[in-house]
Amino acid sequence: MHLGQRDLQQLCGLGDRMIRVQERREVVRHIVAQQRPHHDRVGDLHLLRICRSDRSRSVSTFPLVQTLDISRLILWMRRWVGVERHFWRMMWRSSRPLVAALFAIAAARGLAIWLMIYSSGQALQAVADRSDRAWGWLVLTVIGLGASPLAEAWQGAASYALQTRFTRQQTLLLAEAANAPHGIGHLENSETRARFNDIEEYLRGMFGVNAMYAVWSVIGYGAVGLGGFAAVAQWSWPVALWTLLAFRVLHATWTGYLDVLLKDLVEDGSIGRRQADYLRSLPLERAGGKELRLFGMTPWLLRRYAEVWRAAFTGIWQRRSRALRGALIGCTVAGIMLVGSYVWAGHAAWTGSLAVGSTVAVLQGLMQMSSLGALGDFNVQAIRARFYENEIRSLRSDLGLAATLPERTGTPRAIDQRGAAAVDVTGVTFTYRSRAEPVFRGLDLHIPAGQSVAVVGVNGVGKSTLIKLLCGLYAPDAGTVRIDGRDPALDDAARRRVATIFQDFVRYHLSLETNVALPLVARGIDEQALRHTADEALRDAAGADVLTRLDDDWATILEPGYAGGTDLSGGQWQRVALARALTAVAAGAGVLVLDEPTAALDVRAEAEIFSRFLEVTRGVTTILVSHRLSSVRHADRIVVLGPEGVVQDGTHDELLVAGGPYADMFRLQAARFAAAGAVSDQNAEMAGESA
């Protein structure tokens, strides 16, 4: 299986669909193992220290005339050195031969320009002097002229090759950052989420794709500018240095302005901008387009978009116009300095202290030195390249991760324990970070190994939250959650003992085989055994017809956007997801959790699947969450959750006899079925029982 950048971005799980950590980890481990360049090594601790201390995300604002505060200047210098150092280190890690070649090409560009300027001046002088040497100088001029575009073309080719490697490295760093934390709190934190999205957009966008070309163009033009500098310096060092200073002032003022633009884009108003982006994209989406028309919402949407957009950008425009004023002052200063250089050269030529050949060379040199000034788009892109590389580093640092990928972990270890696992929830209190009220206060639930338990309760009572705690996606505020005595919020092995299919399970844009065999895919199991397990799991999940529909082609990608790809119905997708859960059991999970993954199935199909599941998963502990009580009644035990925790606990028959919320809910559902004239065996049985 070879996955491209598009797949990697889907698997980062940064879009609307949040791929569950457990599953994502398996896939990302697999991809990282596949795609990591061979020369990767462990992170550099020194670099990490710089990252940790570098809390600011600003890149290049030169504290030009803003302050004469030396300590601020030193701080800025240190930050700048840290960013540059990291950027070059990461580029070097992407491909040493290409970086070395690009430096050589840049040097060649500078040399070619100098040769062209110098020899053309000499040729002109020789012609003026009617000297035979004119031909020799002309040949050198032509060599310089020819070598320059050739070197530029090579530079383009090499920088695009480097870009591929650099982007792959950045994409893996981002994917690993999204997946490395044990829980999913970072993906639910709006600021962290916005940073992930922003970097991902950059990597996918035009600037990210052309970053290396821009960086090396700036260096190449820098070399050309230095070629011009050398030509001018041959005549006058002071003029060369004065002109260099003028162009660097120009460069610094524009860099400062661009930095303001970039900081705004990333840091300020990002929530407002995200809202505006969302409103703008809504009519372009299939579902959004439908509803907007049905509810006649277009005028409201346009008005709202204009308001949000204006509010998000007002501050940005003010900052930009202030920064632009500074940049224009810098440009004027640089312009006056440059006029000085040309007047100086003109005066020397007029007074005869500069011969005709030297005058031509100096004027050409002055012109070529403009490459050391502001390069417009290339500068913007080169700054962005540094900015986002630094963003990745700082995001990873904030998540407690090294700046580089960790040592190759190889094939994940097989789960050391087998068989059913016991589940113990003791005195658990849990509150979501964004909420004031806890979902649970002192919840107790103990499930012996091998038991099948149905968890029921009204909407919002905390069923899915309980499952997330069992998976270790959150840690409780108080109390303990244990799977066979181990904490899934801390222990990876304990988490892998829990196989869960959530309500919003992921529909991977991958082959049918990978969708089913995902828990085994990264384990290096041979192709035949993998296919056999997937086949068995799909049949046990009553999904044999899915395979038939795909003409027995396990390699079909389950997304119509791919050549030969296709989509499945909601019910077929659920069978695939259930088959995935069974593969996880085959891989060693001891607790199987189904959190309403069968909602798209009709009552009869759901009841059949649950009964079948209880059959095929006899050797493991099973937890079923469903609102359809007819489907879960055959579980060994039924636990009713209420706002105050477990309010009822017993078998279906016991709870019916005892009366209370379960019996009430059951009778209500049965009465609905009876009123609707239900004819299925299940419903008839249900209606009869409730009577």
Q: Please report, as ranges, the residues that interact with ligand ATP according to CB under 6 A.
A: 188, 432, 434-435, 439, 457, 459-465
Residue 460 C-beta: closest distance to ligand ATP, Å: 4
Buried b (16+ CB within 10 A) or exposed e, 302-329: eeebeebbeebbeebeeebeebeebbee
Contact 445, 423 (CB under 8 A): yes
**Whole-Å CA distances, 669 to 323, 581, 584, 595, 676:** 66, 28, 33, 20, 11
Contact 507, 571 (CB under 8 A): no
Nearer to ligand ATP, 152 or 596 (CB): 596
Nearer to ligand ATP, 75 or 458 (CB): 458
Query: 452 — phi, psi (to 5°)?
Result: -105, 130
Q: What is the rounded distance in angstroms from the CA atom of residue 87 to the CA atom of residue 556?
A: 40
Residue 17 C-beta: closest distance to ligand ATP, Å: 15
Nearer to ligand ATP, 504 or 553 (CB): 504
List all residues 6 or more positions away from 228 whose beta carbon is below 8 Å from its beta carbon: 113, 114, 117, 364, 365, 366, 367, 368, 369, 371, 372
If one counts every other C-beta atom within 10 angstroms of the C-beta of residue 211, the result is 26
Query: 417 — phi, psi (to 5°)?
Result: -100, 155
Residue 504 C-beta: closest distance to ligand ATP, Å: 10
**Whole-Å CA distances, 372 to 62, 120, 226, 345, 495:** 17, 22, 8, 19, 56
Residue 440 C-beta: closest distance to ligand ATP, Å: 9
Tell me the residue type at 98: L
Nearer to ligand ATP, 384 or 628 (CB): 628
Compute, in degrees rounded to 10, the torsion defined by CA atoms 156, 157, 158, 163: 80
Residue 424 C-beta: closest distance to ligand ATP, Å: 19
**Could you give the 3-state DSSP secondary structure of residue 56?**
coil
Residue 468 C-beta: closest distance to ligand ATP, Å: 8
Nearer to ligand ATP, 430 or 554 (CB): 430
Q: Which residue has the tokens 């870009």?
A: 163
Nearer to ligand ATP, 18 or 616 (CB): 18
Nearer to ligand ATP, 188 or 559 (CB): 188
Nearer to ligand ATP, 46 or 435 (CB): 435
Question: Which tokens go with 484?
Answer: 């066979």
Contact 315, 269 (CB under 8 A): yes
Residue 439 C-beta: closest distance to ligand ATP, Å: 5
Q: How far does the chain reach from its first CA to its final CA, in angstroms?
A: 56
Question: Which tokens go with 450?
Answer: 């091998």
Nearer to ligand ATP, 413 or 672 (CB): 672
Residue 581 C-beta: closest distance to ligand ATP, Å: 18
Nearer to ligand ATP, 462 or 519 (CB): 462
Contact 554, 512 (CB under 8 A): yes
Residue 435 C-beta: closest distance to ligand ATP, Å: 5
Nearer to ligand ATP, 106 or 471 (CB): 471
Three-state secondary structure along 233-265? HHHCHHHHHHHHHHHHHHHHHHHHHHHHHHHHH
Residue 474 C-beta: closest distance to ligand ATP, Å: 9
**Could you give the 3-state DSSP secondary structure of residue 231?**
helix
Nearer to ligand ATP, 317 or 432 (CB): 432
Residue 454 C-beta: closest distance to ligand ATP, Å: 13
Q: What is the rounded distance in angstroms from the CA atom of residue 479 to the CA atom of residue 234?
A: 78
Q: What is the rounded distance in angstroms from the CA atom of residue 590 to the CA atom of residue 484?
A: 9
- CA-nearest of 35, 389, 47 to 212 is 389
Question: Which tokens go with 509?
Answer: 């844009």
Residue 434 C-beta: closest distance to ligand ATP, Å: 5
Residue 41 C-beta: closest distance to ligand ATP, Å: 37
Nearer to ligand ATP, 22 or 371 (CB): 22
Q: What is the rounded distance in angstroms from the CA atom of residue 549 to the CA atom of residue 535?
A: 14
Residue 271 C-beta: closest distance to ligand ATP, Å: 17
Question: Which tokens go with 412?
Answer: 């994940």
Nearer to ligand ATP, 419 or 460 (CB): 460
